[in-house]
Amino acid sequence: MTRLSFSLTKPWQHLTLVQNYPALVTVVLTVVLVLTIGLSLTQGSVSLTGTEVWQAILRSGSPMQQTIIWELRLPRIIAGVLVGASLGMSGALLQGMLRNSLADAYILGISAGAGLVAIVLITLGLFLTWVPLAAWLGAILVSLLVYTLARTSVGISIERLILGGVAFSFLLFSIQTVFLLFAEEGRVQAALIWLTGSLNGRGWSEVKMSFPYIAIALLLGSTLGKTMNVLSLGDDLAVGLGISLGRSRIWIGAIATLLAASAVSIAGLVGFVGLVVPHGVRLLVGADYRWVLPLSAIAGAWVLTLSDLLARLGAIELPVGAVTSLLGCPLFIVLLYRRSKLAKGF
């Protein structure tokens, strides 16, 4: 019996040991991300060797291989890294701000706002080249409405923020359903692919459009670790330590919204990344948001890069959002199980 108890507790002891070395976790995640990007560059409908990929990057390989790398795979991978990093950090910011481990871009109506605008344009066949920008504006607008409803005389009410986001999400998703029911069959398929989330066809134009916003938001988000740590102690203690709850939550929410909206404008509605990644990162490095925020960005980039690689391996390419859901749902269950065991001192 003693031997069995030791074998069961040993993994959790190792996990606690890893939490003492967040810098090591950072290095490992970064290396894994780089290796996954390298592997992703070699895989596709036309397989390339590492040497051929390197020659194409240096523009010394065959013209066809250079086209494959520079015009197809490289911009798509960079777009995936940006989307994954944005969703990962956005989820960590929202979960920390709301002190709710189930918070992500869906809970504040961000995804619903972007989805409605995109579905309206796609199903009506209007301004299709402007769908990413329109989705970004829709997400920002709905987030502003939700924050307006949540404002009180003393600041932002967490309860009203969550309830307002859920209410707007249900309303906007219902309107999306109506548009899909009356749309032409070909447009419905295009709309469903966008709702599922996909990186297919993403090029340098999407990367150039969103990179400045995402880069600035990621840098600003990485500086919020100390504020997030204080907020996690509770409202009364945070106020006692000189933190303005209303101003802090508006600033955190604005950065999280910008990140999520930018991600949606590139890849559509990709689920589970913003929900699962912060859980996994906190399991690895603890609850110190000075590490959780940047590592959520790195881990999110890796998860989406890996999911997009898996989506392209079959005979038929899958939407990357479907792969993240297939991977994220069981992984989320496992993470919740592990956290419950750790909380009980198993």
pTM (two decimals): 0.87
Q: Considering the chain, what is the average pLDDT of its residues?
A: 86
Model pLDDT for residues 228-273, shown as the tens digit of each residue: 999 888 888 888 888 888 888 889 988 998 899 889 889 988 988 9
CATH number of the domain at 11-343, please? 1.10.3470.10
Tell me phi and psi for residue 243, to 5 degrees.
Answer: -90, 130
Indicate the domain borders of the chain: 11-343
For the segment 199-231, what is each residue's pLDDT rounded down to a tens digit? Answer: 998 989 889 988 998 999 999 999 999 999 998
| Whole-number percent of the chain with pLDDT over 70 | 90
Between CA 300 and CA 323, with CA 56 as vertex, the angle to 5 degrees is 30
Q: What is the pLDDT of residue 8?
A: 36
> Is pLDDT at 345 greater than 60 in this prediction?
no
Rounded mean pLDDT of 284-290?
Answer: 92
104-150 confidence digits (pLDDT tens): 887 788 888 988 998 898 888 887 778 888 888 888 899 889 888 88
Two tokens, residue 176: 């999306």
CA distance linking residue 187 with residue 124, whole number of Å: 8
At 286, is the secondary structure helix, strand, or coil?
A: coil
pLDDT, position 341: 61
Question: What is the C-alpha separation between 198 and 270, in angstroms, rounded?
Answer: 8
Read off the tokens for 158: 């967490």
